[in-house]
Amino acid sequence: MKEEKVTQDPLIQRQHEEEEEEEEEEELGLRRQVYDEVKKQIGLSCPLIAVSLLQYCLEVISIMFVGHLGQLPLSSASMATSFASFTGFSVLLGMGSALETLCGQSYGAKQYHMLGIQMQRAMLTLTTLSIPLAFIWFYTPTIFIALGQDQEISNGAGTFIRWMIPSLFAYALLQCLNKFLQTQNIVVPMMISSGITALLHTLLCWVLVFKLGFGIKGAALANTISNWVNVFFLGFYVKFSNACLHTWTGFSKEAFHDVLSFMKLAVPSALMICLEYWTFDMVVLLSGLLPNPKLETSVLSISLNTCWMVYMISVGLGGAISTRVSNELGASRPKAARLAVCVVVVIAILEGLIVGTITILVRNVWGKLYSNDDEVIKYVAKMMPLLALSDFLDGFQCVLSGAARGCGWQNVCAIINLGAYYVVGIPCALLFAFVLHVGGMGLWMGIICALSVQVVALVAINLSTNWNDEAWKAINRVQTSREVVNE
């Protein structure tokens, strides 16, 4: 009776009602925050996914046109594309990704003038780096033959990659422009520019490869022209758009100052990405050492192109979360940064399940897009279930790596990738392919082993992160950069 009387007391009852109202308000507030975060990430990631797909489609379209010239041109162009990514594009992409941390956190801290300076600094560094990379590309046939690759494939790959040397410098500038705009949440102009470029590229390939009869050279030349067209479009936008009025104030000699600080973040950033990308390209190179190298190289190259195409979806999500995390940490909002990571993980899981299902469903027809050879088509169909699993894991690690770039964890991620891909992945690939004689499928099974280790490590790091500390580090990084410029 006494307990019943207490619960019926008006004051106690009112207190219970107030507590329930506070809980409801907190729940509604969290729901609103999650809804707003999902909205922001979709608004960022959808155009970035389109940008990633459209820019990657330049290579895919070229490979598709060359594939219809025969198995040898397809193998040569595929090997050249893999080598170009291995020795050039992945290095420049990695170096440029340092801007995701530097520009993103500066933008969040409202230090807008620093974005232009950081971009110029990156352009200077990446363009200079492109010069020695161009020499490596020029000697591609010699390198391939020294590595034991087929001579016909090596010579064809050398012809293709030499015609792509000017695109190396365009790609360096393009990465800087992309990151500069992305970290300001200016993504629609990037999508429009990439869309126009992709359309022009398709026409260029048709004209140069078939109409003018340039063959494999025409596809490479089309890549070069298209990359420079994209650079021109984005450069024109940055120069004359009001959206970049406060972040681009013209060329400045300040870009030559403190290049070392950029390199300290850019080098591990490049290692982080290259150690991962190189493994995939290495799989294609190793396929050339298997029995029937033309078949294995063609199928593994198609698998790699397919994997990269799907991966572009995750790249868009990774770019979005990198921007969200870097902006929020720069603005000293650690809880918002943590929420952004939680949201993108759920999105990545859903995306991985959908993409994996579609990959399995189209397994019997996908190879026909790349080749008319029945043997190639059937082999590709066998590879697709493995691709579905790797796509799921790759997408998951990609968004976690994006969050890591937003925080500036490139050093830690480089170590994780070194262990995952070169201590676990490559040895497993060699074991399956050359000891257990599983062939090209065995090489891809090694990739899956590496991705599994990488995902586990990145999840563990994110779960143990102190986001308040990360916000303090971001603010300190921005202040240090500003002080150097003001000196």
Higher pLDDT, 310 or 350: 350
* CA–CA gap between residue 203 and residue 385 (Å, rounded): 33
Q: What is the mean pLDDT of residues 184-197?
A: 93
Q: What is the mean pLDDT of residues 250-257?
A: 79
Cα-based distances in Å from 7 to 3, 15, 300: 6, 11, 71
Amino acid at 251: F
Neighbours of 293 (CB within 10 A): 16
Q: What is the pLDDT of residue 18?
A: 47
Closest CA to 316 of 51, 59, 35, 99: 51
Q: What is the pLDDT of residues 288-318, one digit of tens each?
A: 787 877 787 778 878 877 887 788 888 889 9
Q: What is the pLDDT of residue 483?
A: 61
Q: Is the dihedral of CA 415, 421, 425, 430 positive or negative?
A: negative
Q: What is the pLDDT of residues 413-432, one digit of tens each?
A: 999 999 999 999 999 999 99
Q: What is the mean pLDDT of residues 161-185?
A: 94
Q: What is the pLDDT of residue 183?
A: 92
- The answer to which of 44-53, 268-277, 422-431, 475-484 has the lowest mean pLDDT is 475-484
In this prediction, residue 113 has a pLDDT band, given cuts at 50, 70 and 90, of: confident
In this prediction, residue 121 has a pLDDT band, given cuts at 50, 70 and 90, of: very high
DSSP secondary structure, 327-347, as one string: HHHHTT-HHHHHHHHHHHHHH
- The answer to which of 254-263, 343-352, 476-485 has the lowest mean pLDDT is 476-485
Task: Answer whether residue 209 shows pLDDT above 70.
Answer: yes
Q: What is the pLDDT of residue 96?
A: 92
Q: Is the dihedral of CA 24, 30, 33, 34 positive or negative?
A: negative
Domain boundaries, the chain: 43-265, 300-487
Task: Answer whether residue 354 shows pLDDT above 50.
Answer: yes
Tokens of 94: 């990695």
* CA–CA gap between residue 472 and residue 478 (Å, rounded): 10
Closest CA to 352 of 305, 400, 420: 400
Of 72-76, 275-279, 454-458, which one has max mean pLDDT? 454-458
* DSSP element (H, E) containing 179: helix 165-182
In this prediction, residue 10 has a pLDDT band, given cuts at 50, 70 and 90, of: low
Q: What is the pLDDT of residue 415?
A: 94
Q: What are phi and psi of 373, to 5 degrees?
A: -80, 120
Average pLDDT over the chain reads: 86
* CA–CA gap between residue 81 and residue 159 (Å, rounded): 12
Task: Answer whether residue 232 shows pLDDT above 50.
Answer: yes
Q: Is the dihedral of CA 142, 308, 450, 270 positive or negative?
A: positive
Cα-based distances in Å from 50 to 47, 315, 403: 5, 10, 20
325-353 in b/e burial notation, b at 16+ Cβ within 10 A?
bbbbbbbebbebbbbbbebbbebbeebbe
Q: What is the pLDDT of residue 482?
A: 65
Secondary structure of 422-447 in the HEC alphabet?
HHHHHHHHHHHHHHCCCCHHHHHHHH
